[in-house]
Amino acid sequence: MLDETEAREFWNIFRDSPLFAGWKGVEQYLNPRLERETFLAGQAIFSRQETADCLYLIVHGVVVQSLKHGRLEWLRRRLNPGDYFGQHALFGDRHFSDTVAETEVVLCKMSAGDLRVALERNPELHEILLQEKRAGRLRAMPLLRSLDDMEVRRIAPLMEEVSLDRGASVPLQKEGLWLIDFGQITVAGPASFDQSGWRLTAGNFFVSVDVGRAAQRAATHATAHLPSRLFYLPTEHFNRLLRAFSDVRQLSAARLDIAEELAKVELFQSSDLTDKHRQHLAQFCGWGFVPDQQNITTQGALGHSFVIIRDGLAVVTNFDEQGRARPMSYFRPGESYGETSLLSGKARDVTVRGAVAPAQDGQTALNGADVITLDRRDLLAAFEEQPTLWDNRIKLFKSFSHAKEIKRRYDWQREDEQIIWDGRGHRFWLAFPAAAPILLALLPLALIWLSSSALAGTTLVIWLLWLGMLALVEVWLFVNYYDDHYVVTNHRVTRYDRDLLALSEALMEAPIEMVQDVTIQAGFWGRFFDWGDVTIRTAAKVGAIVFAHAPQPDEVKQHILTEKAQAVAAVRGHQREVLRRLLISQLRVALPIPERQRALGDQAPAAAGSIGRPGRCKPRRPR
């Protein structure tokens, strides 16, 4: 309990603290509950593995926290009045650091129950206390891949987030490590491979020129080429990382030549691609780390990127219609996947997760997959940036352009929607109604031949008028036939009808995963000429959709059932993934990395293709 003087002193320091934001009456509530305690210089406040029961708030003095990796101290943090500590241990039951009073220290202790009340008053306080989102982004940084989740969580508060607008300079006078979260940073010095205007993207890093232990990563000047976000770690903390973690030393000692990594992959080995092409693409690739049991890509998700496994291991899993996971194979260093996603945005048909790679040559096993990714939207940005370098003579550019042109046939088609089958009624079905006007046109000719010569002229005029009317009917039949069509995509089944006489149109559609049954009805002529009515019964509001007189109905039925099975599997897989990520986060089983984004960031220009929105809009004609 605080007396009046102690309470006044405490609230002068902590009144504006985010701990108590939005909490009315906090002083009256906490004053009788806070416990004040004094520690002498050099006295331990708590040690590793001690049970945690409160949050500590510093009123006077300096506190030092330290963590060791093996026998080496890798983290040392000095805390001053207004700071607080011990929050991670409250969520993890035990302390993970040794904490000592550097000077005489006065602390106020806030119980776990009172902290819970504060969390209820301010939902944002959880992130302020633990900085889980920042830690998750740092978990995806390859430089920190050898740190465990607890170590990443502890280093997150030491990192400063720096957001830069296009053209802004990185303040390199602040000596230390600079990690790129997203964006594009133009660097000069050794980090630039001695090339003018060289750019680094997400996952890469550089250091201030005075950090000697990572000389190959040094930048003498750095500017944001695009809106970017970076993490800054001061030199003293970075040097401790270098001393304690051999993998951090190894990655810092040499630059990552992404162009060289691209040259090892078949997609980028064609004879028309030169080193200049690969060096240009390298400046648009992201570098990331995906821990064990976390997804690199997810089955059913919109495919955007090509993925190269640079180090570690990844397991390939397919989910069936019941949502059961079926491990299929592994991706090892040097292997890659996602060419169709890169070129056409095809949805992922499997889930790929990081896995524990076996240890080699006495080195510690990598607990996940170190990957290089190229997003198709960033690939388009590269093409548009240097049109003289990329043209139709380059196979990669030509394949990408062709896929982009043919991808959307209809206005309602979504970006990740692929046309599996489209068509209209069988042409022989058109022949029957079209034959009637032709026969009716021939009938007056017989009357003209039988009529007297005196009436022949008048009969001819009447026949010509009759012929004109029948021609209009024939045109209407053909236009009506070609305006109606059926479509099966990986997301839906659709029937579009337009009636010229009624000036109306109708679009019937149902999600592919809601298809319940598909039946075929065909008469004698249908069996003879291979057409039939394909009835698609669905659980959607529209009910049943009929593809009348569809050609090759058995093939259409097979397309629908195959896509339904894949869609249901994707939905079940996605549901399991959402639940799995929620459990990982809530139970703190692992530190979840964020959903993958473009290396250049969402604010970067040139998103590949336009996003189609489903709706009742007029489709383009099939091609």
The CATH number that applies at residue 482 is: 2.30.29
**pLDDT value for 441:** 59
312 sits in which H/E element? strand 305-319
Q: 350 with 428, same domain? A: no
Which of 572, 593, 608 terminates a domain? The answer is 572
Which residues have a Cβ under 8 Å from the Cβ of 436 and sit 6 or more positions away? Answer: none
CATH code, domain carrying 60: 2.60.120.10
- The domain in which residue 346 lies consists of 287-407
Here the tokens at position 198 are 């060289």
Q: Whole-model pTM?
A: 0.79
Q: 369 with 346, same domain? A: yes
Q: 385 with 450, same domain? A: no
Domain count, the chain: 4
On whether residue 503 sits in a domain, the answer given is yes
Q: 522 with 554, same domain? A: yes
Residue with tokens 């890469």, as numbered in its chain: 204
Q: 436 with 540, same domain? A: yes
Residue with tokens 């405490």, as numbered in its chain: 10
Burial class (CB in 10 A: 0-12, 13-18, 19+), 423: middle
On whether residue 587 sits in a domain, the answer given is no
Q: 121 with 191, same domain? A: no
DSSP for 417-469, written as a single string: --EEEEE-S-HHHHHHHHHHHHHHHHHHHHHHHHS-HHHHHHHHHHHHHHHHH
On whether residue 600 sits in a domain, the answer given is no
Cα separation, 199 vs 188, whole angstroms: 9
Q: 431 with 356, same domain? A: no
Which of 407, 440, 460 terminates a domain? The answer is 407
Handedness of CA 246, 247, 250, 254 (dihedral sign): negative
Q: 383 with 495, same domain? A: no
**pLDDT value for 464:** 64
Q: 550 with 470, same domain? A: yes
Q: 395 with 438, same domain? A: no
Here the tokens at position 500 are 């010229």
DSSP for 387-416, written as a single string: TTTSSTTSHHHHHHHHHHHHS--STT--TT
**pLDDT value for 356:** 92
Cβ–Cβ < 8 Å for 368, 355: yes
On whether residue 416 sits in a domain, the answer given is no
**pLDDT value for 170:** 97
**pLDDT value for 361:** 67
Helix (H, G, I), strand (E, B) or coil at 521: strand
- The parts of the chain modelled with pLDDT lower than 50 are 502, 607-623
CA-wise closest residue to 599 among 193, 135, 204, 143: 204
Which of 353, 372, 407 terminates a domain? The answer is 407
Q: What is the pLDDT of residues 570-588, one digit of tens each?
A: 777 777 777 777 776 666 6
Q: 508 with 369, same domain? A: no
Q: 172 with 239, same domain? A: yes
**pLDDT value for 621:** 39
On whether residue 518 sits in a domain, the answer given is yes
